[in-house]
Every structure is written in structure tokens, then in C-alpha cells.
Structure 1
């Protein structure tokens, strides 16, 4: 018997669709059978992307970020320090790791679509990785490649999550630091105010 999803108080303001709270960043590009806006979890709303960057807001709950910021990365993202999602609260990241079907279930794959001309949030890896990392950020900056926004980040520590019997779980090792985290590969990054201005011209 399925148990009802327990949503933390910090996320109860979010719209619920199909039993799941819809993260702040998600676009509503189409309508459902009742004519109501339908969330597409594969895409970020450009206006919300701008608001997240300009207002220093969590990508999941939409509320102001705290001093410590986090993201969820696969092995390749952790290696190249490039990520498509914006930072989030630790609680929001942990809720995503334990709730988002695409992350939680090993055999769940995100569908692809060419129908919606909004910022796609699909990761860089062509295949779903067998592990993910909860990343505590030490520093980060923004990169604009055409109309796509990325963050280049320097980790402070990571917590590894992997699949056991088809379900994503923490590996039990807690927070880990590595010597290479002291190095930050810094490509040409865009100042926040310049990035916001460019995104407005592109999307708004």
C-alpha cells in the first residue's frame, strides 16, 4: 500500500500535481484536460530562472537562499564543475533526492521533447548515472552559452548517493572532502547583473 507523501512545511506553498509538489523553477507550457496549466518538470521557466538569479532564490522552493547553498550533481557534473540547475537549500535538495521519481528510481528516465521552446534542464550526461552527489557549495559563478545558463562551481564537500535494489539511498559515509575541491576551474563567467540583462533580452 502506497503511503501519502509527507511534504515539509517549507514546501507546502508549492502547487501539487500528480501527488508531487511542483518545484519553483518548473515551466507550465501546456494545459491539462481540464484546461489548467500543466507542469513540465523537464523545463525551467525563463522568468523564474531570472528571478532565482536576481533574487538569490532557491531553485526548488523559490524562497531566499541561506549562506550555505547546495546542488545535486552526477559524476560528470562533479568532475567538470558545470551544472544546469541553480543552487538550493539543503532541505530542498534532500527532499528532491528522496522524492523526485527521476532521481529516486533507477529505472525512471526523463522523457525528451522538442515541442517546448523554454530553458531545458536536462543534465549533460546522455545516460542516467548510477550515482548522484549532494554538493555543498564553496563558491560558484554563472556561464551563459547562447541561451543556456550554467553555473561553474567549487564544492566544499559532497555526500554520495547510489542505487540499492533500484532505489536511491545515501551511501552512509556522510560528508566527504577531496583535495581537488581546493582547485576551481574558472572559465569566462558572466557578472550577475550582466547575466540578468541578457536573459531578459532573450526570454522576457
Structure 2
């Protein structure tokens, strides 16, 4: 009997290494995701304290544990010229899960959300939020590294590979935009 590929919007299996994290809608909630006062997770925003801790402490933004010898930064195409991300690096297996699970990173969403989350004072939106609201989504890239330098970008810590040659940079998925 032939096997059929899972639909593009299928919920990916949760890796055992991520089983300790909260689950919403069948998906792992990344460690850096902020919560509202009533307990809702704000997917797409990041907790400023956890992000700062992760970047400075070399912790994975998805599982919150120490990064190993290989790490991955996920960057939008417009971020590539900056050679840096204000979001923490990920373990390769956490990056693989994110690529499968996140509709923006995977390219399953044609546009960014039209309205911003209402976030608390210790949560952050990207510095270009105003330009992204409702705009067409960008392709994403996985930047594989062995290390990064911590810099300040728009007043926030960032993981930079400007002076560190990446092991590889790979485009993620095929963006399916509807006109």
C-alpha cells in the first residue's frame, strides 16, 4: 500500500526532547514565548528577559537548554544582510521542529498577521513590526553555525555571525503566496 505524504498543515510529531514544554493546539510553545496575565501564550512574540538570557547564556530559544557544538539561527531574508538575529539560536533538532511546526518559518502563510499581539512590558515584537503587519511574508533561511558573537541591535542583544563564517545557509521551504 503506498504511503501518502502528510498534508502541509499537518501537526508535526513532538520530539521527545521537547516533551517538557507546554503544548497549544498540538504544537510546542517555545521557551521564549511570553504569556499574558490570563495564561495565554503569545506565539510570534518573545519574552525579553528569556531572550536576553538565551542569547547571552547560549541557550536554545525553543527548549531553553544549553546549545551544543552546532546551532542554527532562523532568519528572514531581509535579516540576512545584518548577519544577526535578535531571536536566540536553536539546537538543530529544535530548528527542524520549528521549520516543520511554525507556519511563518515553513512558508505556509502568505502574509504576516494584520494586527499585533497586545503584549506586556517584558515581551518584544520585532523592531520592524510596523512594516510587517499585513505585509507579504518573506522567505526564511537556516544559518548553521558553531558559535556567534553577542552584539546589540536596535537596543537588544543579538546573535551575530558577521565575523564567524557560517557552516551553511539554507533557504527554508517554498513560500506559497496568494496574490
Question: Normalising by the residue count of structure 2, what TM-score does the alignment of the two structures yield?
Answer: 0.75
Match of 1:170 in 2: none
Change (3 A) 1:129 1:109: closer
1:85–1:121 contact (8 Å) kept in structure 2 = no
Deviates more, 1:84-93 or 1:116-125: 116-125
Structure 1 residue 164: Cα displacement: 5.6
Q: Pick the structure with greater CA Rg.
A: 1
Is the strand fraction higher in 1 or 2?
1
Aligned residues: 161
Match of 2:144 in 1: 136
What's the secondary structure of 2:43's corresponding residue? strand
- Structure number with greater CO (CA < 8 Å, separation at least 6) is 2
Structure 1: gaps (5+ residues): 32-36, 167-204
Q: Within 5 A, what are the aligned runs for 1:148-159? A: 148-153=156-161, 154=164, 155-159=166-170
The counterpart of 1:122, out of the listed 122, 126, 132, is 126
Give the alignment's Cα RMSD to 1 decimal.
2.7
Q: Within 5 A, what are the aligned runs for 1:179-194? A: none
What's the secondary structure of 1:39's corresponding residue? coil
Structure 1 residue 85: Cα displacement: 0.7
Match of 2:48 in 1: 46
Measured against aligned partners, the alpha-carbon deviations of 1:35-55 in whole angstroms (never above 9, x if no partner) come to xx1111232223322432454
What's the secondary structure of 1:52's corresponding residue? helix
Structure 2: gaps (5+ residues): 1-6
Match of 1:82 in 2: 84
Change (3 A) 1:84 1:164: closer
